[in-house]
Amino acid sequence: MTISEEILKKTSIQSNEIIYSKFIQKIRSGTLEPDKFIYYMIQDVNFLKYYAKCNAIIATKILYEYKADFVAYTKSSITYIKFVEEYFFEHPEYQSNSTTRATEGYTNYLVKNCATKPLELALSAILACELLYKSLGEYLKNNSVTNNSYEPWYLPLSDPEYVKGVDKLQYIVDDYGLAASSATQSEMIDIGAKGYVWEYEFFQDAYAKQIFNDY
Amino acid sequence: MKLSTKAWERSANIYNAIIKHPFNQELMQGTLAKDKFAYYIEQDVIYLQDFSRCHAIIASKIPLEHMHSFLKYAEYTLIAEQEVVHQFFTKEFNFTETGLITPATLSYTSYMLKTCLNESVEIALAALLPCFWVYREVGLFIAAIAEKNNPYFRWIETYSSEAFCNSVDEAIIIFDAMAANTTEAVREKMLDAFYKSTCLEWHFWNDSYRKRVFDDLLN
């Protein structure tokens, strides 16, 4: 089994919990409360800043033979990023510095792994987000109600260019995994799996409009 | 006003919540359940490994006059706290490891490492200082009330000791010295980092008390 297959197998419960979470189910039915979506988008903007930093860190270290594929992957989410940028351009009043525990925890976790761990582990750390969002894109495209006001959010996640980009990342991770020691392979799986837990917490905290310093 | 005073004032509510937290109240009374304390010690061992690493990162960046202090903190953290205190309790109470990690442990260690690696040394200092300072204040608070036959007296003694208190004073002096020599924008980020870490301190105790597990979605 490849590293990505191991991660997906290990996180099938978390993946289901996310798909059947209130947040995603209400996106599917088009009934998600606007204030919850706004709060999620605020968290996503924050997340994407650090995610871009992680991609930059990886780009400095990745082997030359994978550079073209890695660049193609980083550019593949351009449609989604454009949606996010336009969303806040049209609604500057939504902007906020408020973060959740999961936003803080997840972004710190990603940057820490990308900055301090070997490249294989950094790649595994960022894989969870892409695998999950690709699966959410497919699920929502095939199961959402028609004329769903949240289409502009989830349709980019099933865009063929985005899917191809995630596939490239998955291939890179699996290739690095093949060449890694069994100890590193175990760590790759663990780090990737933890990413799924963070993803679950991210959606939960956004839905609950949790605030980081709410003790 | 010194930046350290401002930082502490901004975090005063969180410190009060930490003192009032059942973990520390029960620690003070000597009634904290041993399994909760064991879990906390296990998390603390994980935390201190990265805490020590962060001090080494700061030592590599800070002006030479302060470098030895941070190398000393890195060493003290590993030896005095981890080896002495934790090994003492593991042996004394026959603790066994669970191999689990709380969300707060993972968050807090990630936050410290990320900050020490990516931010200026002043902000890195600010992210680490709450751990020292909060533990000193909690240690002194509890030491003033706890009985000598408190089963956790060794822990209380460590964090209220003169040596530990002096280290904290030294760290605060360095914090203020670095703050005085930087920009207003960086000072604001120092305050923010100090506040965030203080929040994470509360979560660390809370997660240990509730024996939360990072990948247990139903917990």
Poorest-confidence range of A196-200, B9-13, B87-91, B112-116?
B87-91
Lowest mean per-residue pLDDT among A58-62, A125-129, B66-70, B135-139:
B66-70
Interface of A with B in 67-96 (CB under 8 A): none
pLDDT (0 to 100) of residue B67: 85
Report residue A20 as tokens. 């059947």
Helix or strand or coil: residue B33? coil
Q: What is the ipTM of this complex?
A: 0.71
Determine, for residues A111 and B114 on separate chains, whether the beta-carbon distance falls below 8 Å: yes
Instruction: Determine the Cα–Cα distance for residues B18 and B16; give it in Å rounded to an integer.
Output: 5
- A123 pLDDT above the threshold of 80: yes
Task: Name the residue in chain B with its Cα closest to that of A17.
Answer: B217
Residue B121 in this model has a pLDDT that exceeds 70: yes
Length of chain A: 215
pLDDT at B45 over 80: yes
What residues contact residue A198 under an 8 Å CB cut-off, 6+ apart?
A102, A105, A106, A109, A128
pLDDT tens-digit map of A137-185 = 999 999 999 999 999 999 999 999 999 999 999 999 999 999 999 999 9
Residue of B52, B201, B203, B215 to mutate, interface with A, max A Cβ within 10 Å: B215
End-to-end Cα distance, chain A: 42
The mean of the pLDDT values for chain A is 93
Chain A with chain B: Cβ pairs closer than 8 A? 61
Contact A103, A46 (CB under 8 A): yes
The pair of three-digit structure tokens given for residue B170, joined into one six-digit string: 């030294």
Whether A112 sits inside 8 A of B14 (CB atoms) is: no
Asked if A129 and A199 count as a contact pair (C-beta separation under 8 A), the reply is yes
- Residue bearing the bigger pLDDT, A188 or B159: A188
List the structure tokens of A171: 């291939």
DSSP string spanning A120-135?
HHHHHHHHHHHHHHHH
Closest CA to A203 of B207, B201, B217: B217
Chain centre distance of CA B53: 14
B186-214 pLDDT per residue, tens: 999 999 999 999 999 999 999 999 999 99
Predicted TM-score of the model (pTM): 0.83
Q: Do A104 and B203 touch (CB under 8 A)?
A: no
Question: What is the number of helices (H) and of strands (E) in chain B?
Answer: 11, 0
Could you give the CA distance from residue A82 to residue A152 in angstroms, rounded to a whole number?
Answer: 10
